[in-house]
């Protein structure tokens, strides 16, 4: 293998390494955005669970301001529906949280894989440089 071939091969590896580094930077930004999104959704899940729990402990849905048959009818018709809707909302948020976590893991694994690729390319570039140096000595 001549110096020209080694240099061409080295340049190709450098270009490939730069591409991998760019892909890694993009994946790392995605990881950060996903972590922020996860935190926000997690906070909403916790707030919703707290609100639902407080709501479930409430004895009187309509309060002291509204009494009578219409009040009781409203409470009977809407209380369970409201509780169920809270549960549905929390379940959906949990699903979103799970989806974010799955994508986060995927992106973190991509970063790890790219780190390995970049390391391997760095080693190949170093070895090619060594061969070029030895060839011209």
Task: Tell me the per-residue pLDDT of 49-67, one tens digit each, with 9 for 90 and over.
Answer: 998 888 777 665 556 666 7
| pLDDT over threshold 80, residue 120 | yes
For residues 52 and 82, what is the distance between their CA atoms, to the nearest angstrom?
Answer: 10
Burial class of residue 30, CB neighbours in 10 A (0-12, 13-18, 19+):
middle
pTM score of the predicted model: 0.77
The answer as to whether 27 is a domain residue is yes
The answer as to whether 46 is a domain residue is yes
The answer as to whether 68 is a domain residue is no
The answer as to whether 67 is a domain residue is no
Domain hosting residue 102, numbered range: 3-57+89-136
The answer as to whether 129 is a domain residue is yes
Q: Where are the beta strands (DSSP E) in the chain?
A: none
Question: C-alpha distances in angstroms, 95 versus 12, 92, 100, 105?
Answer: 44, 5, 9, 15
Average pLDDT over residues 78-95: 88
The answer as to whether 63 is a domain residue is no
The answer as to whether 83 is a domain residue is no
pLDDT of residue 57: 74
The answer as to whether 43 is a domain residue is yes
Q: How many structural domains does the chain have?
A: 1
Q: How many CB atoms lie within 10 A of CB 132?
A: 19
């Amino acid at each position: 293998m001549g110096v020209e071939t080694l240099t061409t091969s080295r340049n190709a590896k450098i270009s490939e390494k730069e591409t991998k580094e760019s892909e890694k930077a993009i994946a790392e930004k995605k990881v950060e955005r996903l972590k922020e999104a996860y935190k926000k959704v997690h906070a909403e899940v916790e707030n919703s669970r707290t609100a639902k729990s407080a709501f479930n402990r409430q004895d009187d849905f309509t309060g002291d301001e509204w009494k009578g048959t219409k009040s009781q009818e409203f409470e009977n018709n809407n209380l369970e529906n409201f509780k169920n809707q809270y549960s549905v909302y929390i379940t959906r948020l949990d699903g979103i949280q799970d989806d974010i976590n799955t994508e986060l893991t995927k992106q973190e694994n991509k970063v790890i894989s790219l780190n390995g690729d970049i390391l391997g390319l760095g080693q190949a570039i170093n070895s090619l440089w060594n061969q070029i140096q030895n060839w011209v000595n």
